[in-house]
Structure 1
Amino acid sequence: MKLHVCLSALLAVMASGQGVQAATPDAYRDLNHNGRRDVYEDAGQSIDARVDDLVRQMTLEEKVGAMMHGSLPAGDELGHGGAIYDLDQVGVMIGERHLNSFITRLVVAPRRLAEQNNEVQRLAEQTRLGIPVTISTDPRNHFQAVLGASTAGGGFSLWPETLGLAATGDADLVRRFGEVAHREYRAVGIQMALSPQADLASEPRWPRVTATFGSDPADVSRMVQAYVEGFQGGTDGVRPDGVATVVKHWVGYGAEPEGFDGHNIYGRVARLDNASFAEHVAAFDGAFAAGVAGVMPTYPILEGVSLDGAPLEPVAAGFNRQLLTDLLRDQKGFKGLVLSDWAITNNCDAACRAPTADHPQTAKDIGMPWGVEGLTQPERFAKGVTAGIDQFGGVNDGAMLLQAVRDGQVPAARLDEAVRRIMTLKFQLGLFDNPYVDPDVAERVVGDPQSRAQADLAQRRAQVVLEDGGRPLTAEGVKTVWLYNVDPEEARRRGWAVASDPAQADLALVRVNAPFERLHPHHFFGARQNEGRLDFRDGDADYEAVKQARAARRSVVAVNLDRPAILTNIRDKTDVLIATFGASDAAVLDVATGQARGEGRLPFELPSSMAAVEAQDPARPDDSAAPLYPRGYGRGAPRN
C-alpha cells in the first residue's frame, strides 16, 4: 500500500493514549492501492460520503465477511491462553474470508498487546480495500474473570465489579471509570467494549448478576448511561478517541427461572409478563440517551410477553424481529449496530443437549440456536439478518450467510444496511485514518499510578457495611490477627503478627464468597458458572471459618457478592459484616479497621432464606418475602 506525504513514517507515532490524532490535510492512506485519493480515504469528506464510496466498492464476499465478528486465535481458536496471536490464521480470516471485526482475549503486558494488535492492522492493510479491523473485548478492569463473560490481567487498572460501582450510587464515578478504561483500551489498540450489562438482577441465583448494576431499573439506567458516556467520550455518541460500547443483553436476560443461564440448553427460556418486561426494557433507556454504539441481543427465548398485542415469537432475541426491529429500532429509535451474542447460529449437538461425565460438552460443542434448532445454518443466518442482526458474534467464516444470500434468503438492501452500520462505526472511531497505537504509550497509560489510585479508592468506597456491632471500625489495639482467605503479607505490612489460632488474635478477618453450587458440571458453561443455593451451611469451609473466627477478641466477615447471599446465620456470628463487590485485601482491611470508609449501599436486596428465594418471581426485582437487608441498605453510607 502506498502511503502518501510520508504517512507511513507517521503511523507508528500518530496514535496516543487519548486515541488517534488526525493526519495533516494532504496526507492520506492509499487503502485500495490505486495511486489516488478515493472518497473513503479522504478525511475531509463526511462519514456518510465515505461510507457510500466504500460500500459501492465492496464485493458481496467482502460485505458478508464484514458481518462476522470473529475471535483472534491465541492459544486456541477462541483466543484463550496464548501469548501472541496466530497471525497465519488471522491472515486467512482477514485476507481470504474478509473479516474485519474480532474479539481479543489475549492477556499479556500492555506493550505486547499493543504490538500484537498493530500486527493485525498490518494484515488488514494488505487487503484489496485496506479496511481496518475493529478489535473488541469483554470487560478487563475488574476482579472476576469468567470464560465468555470477562477477562482479568494484563496490567489494567483494577476497579470493583459494576455491582460495586452501583453500590456507590455515584454516576460521576462510573463515568470516570469509563474514561480511565477507555484510555487504557485505546492505548493497546482496542476500540470496542462488549459492555455494559443493562440486565436487571431480578433473579438472585443468576450467575451473571455480578456484571450488572443491580436490581432497580432507574438506577441501572442512570449508571449505564454514565458508563457509556465515559467509554465513548461524550454524551451523544462515540467520539474518534473513544471506545464504542455494546450494551447487553436486549432484553429480559435476568429473568431466568432458578437462575439457569441462557448459555446452556437448560437455561434457554426466560419467563416474564408485560409489566415485568417493561422494567427490564426501562433499564436500557440510559444507554439509548447516551447514543450507545451497539446493542447485543440476549440468548434466551422470552415467554409470557406480548408486543402490540401479539405474543413474542418463541425464538431467541437474536432471531426475533419483534424485539430487534419493532421494539428496538422502531419504538426506541436505535440506529446503531446490532451485534449478536456468540455462537447463536451453531448447532446444539448431543454433547450440548445432554453431556455426560464420559462425554462432557467442550468448546467445539457450544451452540445457542434457541428456538431455531430446526433450521439449517444458512436459514439461521438469514432469519437473524432479517430480524435485525447486523453482525454475528463468534463467527470466523461467513460461508453460511453467503450461501443464504446467494439462495435469495437475504435482500441485498438489508445486507448493505448492515455493512453501512459496521463501516460507519469504524469511521467514527477514526480507524480508516490511523488504526495503529504506540507501544510506548501503552506502557505508560495502562494501569498508570493515577488510574490505580482512583480504582483503589473506588474499591474502598464500594464496600457496604452491613453490621458494625455498634462500635466504630478501628485498628486500635490490634497487634495480632487471624486470617482466612487473606494474604498474610498484607497484615505484616501493617506491623501485625499473624496467629494460627483465632483465640490468640485481637482481630479475625474472614473473606468468603457468596455460596454457590455447580449443578451442571458436564455442560461447558455450567461447569464454570455459579448456580444453585445462596445460603451458608454447616460443613461449608467458608461457614466453618466464620464460626471459628468468633474466638478472636473481635471478628470481621467480608462476603464478596457476585450474587445476593443469604446472611441470616452469618450476621449473628461476627462483630462486623461487610459486603464487597471486588476488592483487594488491602482495601478490605482498610475498611474493616476504619482506615477507609465503606460508603456503599446494597444494589439489590439480600433474601432471608432459600425458601423466600424459591418463592419469588425471577422477573421481578427485589421480590423475596421479608428480605434480611433491603436494597439501598448500608450502615456506612453517607446520609442525605
Structure 2
Amino acid sequence: MRPEFHTAPDGTRFRDLNGNGILDPYEDPRLTPEERTDDLLGRMSPAEKIGLMFQTVIEIGPDGELLETPGAISKSPTTDVVVGKNMTHFNVHAIRTAREGARWNNNLQRLAECTPHGIPVTISTDPRHAFVENTGVAFSAGPFSQWPEPLGLAALDDLEVIEQFADVARREYCAVGIRAALHPQIDLPTEARWGRQAQTFGFDAERVSQITAAYLRGFQGDELGTESVACTTKHFPGGGPQLDGEDAHFPYGREQVYPGGMFDYHLEPFREAIRRGTAGMMPYYGMPVGLERNGVPIAEVGFAYNRQIVTDLLRDELGYDGVVVTDWELVNDNHVGDQVLPARAWGVEDLDPTERMLRLLDAGVDQFGGEECTELLVDLVESGTVPLERIDVSARRILLVKFRLGLFDDPYVDEDAAERIVGNADFRELGTRAQAESLTVLQNRDDVLPIRSEPRPRIYAENVGDSALAAYGDRVERPEDADVAIVRVGAPFEPRDDLFLEKWFHQGSLDFGPGLVSRLGRVAAHAPLVLVVGLDRPAVLTPFVPIASAIVADYGSSDAAVLAALTGAVPPRGTLPVEIPRSMEAVRRSRTDVPGDTDEPIFPRGTGLSIVPA
C-alpha cells in the first residue's frame, strides 16, 4: 500500500508528513534539499535530531513483517528504535526473498510515518552481491545477482564492467528499498595477511582511484538523486597497513603501522571518492602507531576518535563535508548471546561510553555506527555538555542526504517490481560471466587449459558439484582413471573462535599445510592437475608450482563459472590485483604499508595468462 498524497491549491502533490493538513516547506518537493533541510531542522526536537545520529542493525521478521523482538544480531524491537528512540538509519542483514525485503521496507516506512515529522528511514547494507558470508563484513548474494568479490572485479580490470556491476546492484537495492551502501571498500591491502582483502580492489592506488570513480558513478550517478544509492566509502584513511595483517575488529589487531612512510599513498583513492561526491565516509577501527604527518605526531587512538584525522585531514585539508559515520560498536561492548566483543575503542579503552561518545563528537563524526544508545547523547545535550549547535551540524548533513535521495517524497517500493528486478535472468547472466572472466590463469604448463571437449574428458574433481561438471565431462573417482584433475581449494588461514565474529575472519599464516601439498602431488602423478585457488587473501602457492599443470586464481565464482572458464567457453581474462608471495618469510620481511613489497613474488601483480579455446 502506497502512502496517501495530498494536493496543494496549485496542484502540487505532497505527503503531509506531520499531519497538520498543510504543505510545509520541508514537505514541498519544489524546494531544494537545502531549503527543505533548513525548514525541518528548525521544527525538530533535540531528541529527533539525536536519533538521526545513530545507525544500527534491525532484522526482517517472517514474511517481511517488522521484528518486534530482539533478533540474532539486533538488540531491540523495531518500534522501540524507530518510535521510541527516533532512529531513522538501519543496516539490514538477511534478506531471504526480494518480495520479503520490499514488504519489510514498506512496513518500516509506514511505521516511520507515525513519528512527529514522518522522517523516512534510510536502509543500508554491507556488500551482498558475491560469495563471502561474514556478518561483520559482507553477505552472500541470496536473491540478488551474484558477481565475483570486489577483488575479482579488480582482476577484470575493466572500468565499464565495474560501473555496470554498480548500476545493476543499485537497481536491485532500490527495488527492495535499500538506498545506502556501506561500501565501496577502497583500502589498499598492502599487508598480505590482512583478512579483509576480498572486498578491496587491490593495492595499486592509481587504479583503485579509477575503479572508485566508476563504482560511485554506477551507484550514485554524477550527483546524488532520486534514483541513487548513497555510498559510504571506507575505511578512511585506509585500513590496509594492519600490523601482522591482524584485523582491527579485534583487540590484538588494533595497530596500524607505516614503516615505509606510505600514509599519503593510502589516501589517494579517498581523494578520488571526495571528488566524486561520495555521500558518506567511514573511518577504520585501526589505531595508528608511530605515525607522523608534516612533522606532527598523530595521536595513537582509533581513527574515528582522532580529530587530526577526521577534522584536520578529512574535513579541513581534503575539503570533505559529507556524512562521517563510524564503524560499528565504538561506544559500547557488543553482547550477542553469551558472547562479548569489546568496543573497538582502541587507545581509549579506559574511557567509559559517555566519554568515548564525547571523544568521537570532538573528532568530528556525524553518526554512531552499530549503536542505539541515544539516551547517552540526550543526557549530554540536556546537561549542556554538548551544545545543540553541534548536533545541528551533523543532523543537517544527514537530512540533506535523505532529501537528495527523494525519501521524503516517496520511500515506498513495489513488491511485484522487486521480484521482477532482483536477480533477474539478465543480471544473473552478467554476474556469472564476470565470475568466469575474472578467473586468473597463473600457470598453464603444456597448455592443459583450456580443457578440451572432444573427446569428452574423464575428470577427477574435488569440491566441484556434479551438475556443473556434467556439462563438460564425465566424473571419475580416481585420478588414475582421469584425463585431467580439477581441484578447488580456498586460501589457507588459522581458524579462530574466541571472540564474536572471529570465526568468519580468515587471518594468520598464508602457508598451506604439508598434507595437502603431499596429497595433491599424488593426484598430479596420475593426471594433469588444474588447481583453482579461491583468493580471499594471497596464498603462498610456491609448493604447487612444480606439481600443478595449471594454477588458477578465483575471487568468488560458482562451479559453473569456473568450468566455463577452464574449458574456454567463457575465456578467463583476469590479472592479479595483488601479488602472490614466494614465502611467509617474505611476507614477514615486507613493509606493512608498501605495495608489492615481498621479495621476488612467485606471481607479481598483473600476472594473468590468456587461454585460446580449441
Calculate the TM-score normalised by the size of structure 2: 0.94
Distance apart, 1:54 and its partner CA? 0.4
Could you tell me which residue of structure 2 aligns to residue 587 of structure 1?
Answer: 561
Question: Is residue 460 of structure 1 aligned with residue 441 of structure 2?
Answer: no
Equivalent residue for 2:414, pick from 419, 423, 438 = 438
Structure-2 residue corresponding to 1:576: 550
Give yes or no for contact 2:260–2:592 (8 Å, CA) kept in 1: no
Deviation (angstroms), 1:586: 1.1
Secondary structure of residue in 1 paired with 2:14: coil
Deviation at 1:592, TM superposition (A): 1.4
Distance apart, 1:3 and its partner CA: 3.5
Tell me the SS of whatever aligns to 1:192. strand
SS of the equivalent of 2:55 reads: strand
Distance 1:100 1:226, change over 3 A: same
Q: Within 1, Cα distance between the matches of 2:145 and 2:11?
A: 36
2:54 is aligned to 68
1:477-488 counterparts in 2 under 5 A? 477-488=455-466
CA contact (8 A) 1:362 1:524 kept: no
Q: Judging changes above 3 Å, is the alpha-carbon distance between structure 1 residues 310 and 274 closer, same or farther for their aligned structure 2 residues?
A: farther
The alpha-carbon deviation at position 549 of structure 1 amounts to 2.8
Q: Quick one: structure 1 residues 25 and 83, their matched pair in 2 at CA, closer, same or farther if it must change by over 3 Å? A: closer
Question: Which deviations, in whole Å up to 9, do the C-alpha atoms of 1:13-37 show, x marking residues without a partner?
Answer: xxxxxxxxxxx95211000011101
1:223 matched to 2:197: no
Counterpart position of 2:499? 523
SS state at 1:586 partner: helix
Q: How does 1:179-258 map to 2 (within 5 A)?
A: 179-232=167-220, 234-235=221-222, 237-258=223-244
Equivalence for 2:87: 99
Confirm or deny: 8 A CA contact 1:318 1:324 kept in the other structure: yes
Distance in structure 2 (CA, Å) of the matches to 1:279 and 1:82: 47
Q: Structure 1: 5+ residue runs without aligned partners?
A: 8-23, 76-80, 353-359
**Contact map agreement 2:65 2:107 (CA 8 A) in 1:** no
Q: Give the whole-Å Cα distance in 1 for the aligned partners of 2:304 and 2:168.
A: 32
Q: Select 2:404's aligned residue among 411, 419, 428.
A: 428
Percent identical among aligned pairs is 38
The residue identity in structure 1 corresponding to 2:125 is T
Q: Secondary structure at the match of 1:145?
A: coil
Q: Secondary structure at the match of 1:48?
A: helix
Q: Which residue in 2 is equivalent to 1:142?
A: 130
Does 1:507 pair with 2:484? yes
> In 2 relative to 1, CA 251–2 (structure 1 residues): closer, same or farther, beyond 3 Å?
closer
Give the direction of change, closer, same or farther, for the CA distance of 1:25–1:606 in structure 2 (3 Å limit): farther
Deviation of 1:361 after TM superposition, in Å, equals 9.6
> Does the aligned pair in 2 maintain the 1:134–1:191 contact within 8 Å?
yes
Task: Report which stretch shifted further, 278-287 or 295-304.
Answer: 278-287
Does 1:419 pair with 2:390?
no
Other-structure match for 1:374: 350
Contact 1:464–1:600 under 8 Å retained in 2: yes
Deviations 1:317-338 (A, max 9, x none): 1111111111111111111110
Tell me how far apart the structure 2 counterparts of residues 439 and 548 of structure 1 sit (CA, whole Å). 54
Query: Once superposed, what is the RMSD of the aligned Cα atoms?
Result: 2.2
Amino acid at match of 2:543: N
Q: What is the rounded CA distance, in whole Å, between the counterparts of 1:322 and 1:105 in structure 2?
A: 33
Question: In the alignment, which residue of structure 1 is the partner of 2:252?
Answer: 266
User: In the aligned structure 1, how far is the partner of 2:324 from the partner of 2:139?
Assistant: 23
- Does the Cα contact within 8 Å between 1:344 and 1:368 map onto a contact in 2? yes
Any idea what SS the aligned residue of 2:124 has? strand
Q: Does 1:86 align with 2:67?
A: yes
**Cα deviation, residue 2, structure 1:** 8.8
SS at 2:216's partner residue? helix
Give the equivalent residue in structure 2 for 1:49. Answer: 35
Runs of 4+ deviating beyond 3 Å? 1-7, 81-85, 360-366
Contact 1:479-1:497 within 8 A present in 2 as well:
yes
Unmatched 5+ residue regions in structure 2? 70-76
More displaced stretch, 448-457 vs 421-430: 448-457
Deviates more, 1:557-566 or 1:544-553: 544-553
Equivalent residue number for residue 73 of structure 2: none
Does the CA contact (< 8 Å) of 1:510 and 1:549 recur in 2?
Answer: no
Q: Given that residues 235 and 283 in structure 2 are in contact (C-alpha distance below 8 angstroms), is that contact kept between their aligned partners in structure 1?
A: yes
Aligned to 1:491: 469
Give the match for residue 21 of structure 1: none
**Counterpart of 1:288?**
274
Quick check: 586-595 or 130-139, which moved more?
586-595
**Cα gap change, 1:637/1:48 in structure 2, threshold over 3 Å: closer, same or farther?**
farther
TM-score, with normalisation over the residues of structure 1?
0.90
Distance 1:633 1:493, change over 3 A: closer
3-state SS in 2 of match to 1:433: coil
Residue 341 (structure 1) shift = 0.4
Between the aligned partners of 1:335 and 1:273, the Cα distance in structure 2 is 31
What secondary structure sits across from 1:71 in the alignment? strand
Partners in 2 of 1:466 and 1:613 — Cα distance? 20
Distance change >3 Å, CA 130–CA 315, structure 1 → 2: same
Q: Distance in 2 between matches of 1:362 and 1:218?
A: 45
**Which of 128, 150, 163 lines up with 1:175 in the alignment?**
163
Q: Which whole-Å CA distance do the structure 2 matches of 1:459 and 1:511 have between them?
A: 15
Cα distance in 1 for residues equivalent to 2:219 and 2:522 = 45
Q: 2:300 corresponds to which residue?
A: 314
Aligned to 1:573, the other structure's residue is in SS state coil
Aligned to 1:113: 101
Aligned letter for 1:174?
I
Tell me which amino acid in the other structure corresponds to 1:324. Answer: V
The one-character-per-residue Cα deviations of 1:407-462 (angstroms, maximum 9, x if unpaired) are 33323222101000110000011000000000101000001111111111111111
1: CA distance, partners of 2:419 / 2:444: 42
> What are the superposed Cα offsets for residues 489-539 of structure 1, whole Å, 9 maximum, x if unpaired?
212233x32111011011211001111112x43122333211111122222
* Cα offsets for 1:292-317 (capped at 9, x unmatched): 11000100111122234321111111
Residue of structure 2 in register with 1:597 after alignment: 571
**Matched letter for residue 183 of structure 1:** R
Work out the CA distance in 2 between the residues paired with 1:449 and 1:484.
29
Alpha carbons of structure 1 residues 83 and 440: separation in structure 2 relative to 1, 3 Å: closer
**Matching residue's letter, 1:458:** A
Cα distance between partner residues in 1 of 2:323 and 2:138? 21
Distance (whole Å) between structure 1 residues aligned to residue 390 and residue 293 of structure 2 = 23
Residues 196 and 224, structure 1, Cα contact 8 Å, conserved in 2: yes
Residue 286 of structure 2: aligned partner: 300
Give the deviation of 1:552 after TM superposition.
4.2
Q: What secondary structure does 1:539 align onto?
A: helix
Distance 1:29 1:452, change over 3 A: same
Alignment correspondent of 2:146: 158
Q: How many angstroms apart in 1 are the aligned matches of 2:567 and 2:522? A: 20
Supply the AA of the counterpart residue of 1:270. Answer: Q
1:147 maps to a residue whose letter is: T
Equivalent residue, structure 2, for 1:346:
332
Aligned-partner Cα distance in 2 for 1:488–1:415: 58
Q: 2:320 aligns with which of 320, 334, 337?
A: 334
Listed one character per residue, the Cα deviations across residues 151-183 of structure 1 (whole Å, up to 9, x for unaligned) are 124310100100010011111111110000000
3-state SS of paired residue (1:619): coil
AA aligned opposite 1:188: V
Q: Distance in 1 between matches of 2:400 and 2:485?
A: 56
Where 1:275 maps in the other structure, the secondary structure is: coil
Code of the aligned partner of 2:478: D
Residue number among 385, 401, 407 corresponding to 2:377 in the alignment = 401
Give the whole-Å Cα distance in 2 for the aligned partners of 1:130 and 1:536. 56
Alpha-carbon separation, structure 1, partners of 2:119 and 2:64: 26
